[in-house]
Amino acid sequence: MDAEAAARAWVDAWDRAWRARDESELAPVYADDVVYRSHPDREPQPPLDYARSAFADEADDLELWWGEPLVAGNRAAVEWWAALTESGEPVTLAGASWLTFGDDDRVVEQHDYWTVTPGRASPWKGWGASSAE
């Protein structure tokens, strides 16, 4: 099990899926029985179902940034930032995903924390870099 490689594969899959608004790009990085919580206030749901629903409300003007994964054992945390138009309104989403990987490097559990702010904003200088850099 290589959590560093698995975290980078997860980032790559989400980057491709979100930019293309194609949830099928996510299938390879999730275990069949994954427990996925898109927000602390929501019940678990299949990640592809969540992505399909979220992508349906978004316009084609996505700006997307990814932080460096922080990896410990079979877990990783990844910050992300997105500026986009959702349901006709410009918004900025900023959050973090906590990932647990199985022996096959696929996500077996994920929970996200995020916020939404009206308007479009880019991350501040130095955002997303690991403290080791």
Q: Which domains does the chain have, with CATH numbers?
A: 3-118 (3.10.450.50)
CB proximity list for 133: less than 8 A, separation 6 or greater: 68
Note the pLDDT of residue 128.
83
CB proximity list for 97: less than 8 A, separation 6 or greater: 10, 77, 78, 80, 110, 111, 112
Q: Is the pLDDT of residue 67 over 60?
A: yes
Q: Is the pLDDT of residue 133 over 80?
A: no
Q: pLDDT band for 132, please (50, 70, 90 cuts).
A: very low
Token pair of 57, please? Answer: 């409300």
Q: How crowded is the C-beta side of 40, counted as CA atoms within 13 Å?
A: 5
Mean pLDDT for all residues in the chain: 93
More confident residue, 130 or 87: 87
Q: What is the mean pLDDT of residues 94-98?
A: 97
Could you list the beta-strand ranges (E) of 1-133.
Answer: 30-37, 63-66, 70-72, 75-86, 89-101, 107-118
Calculate helix-pair angle for 3-20, 47-56, nearest 10 degrees: 30
Q: What is the mean pLDDT of residues 58-87?
A: 94
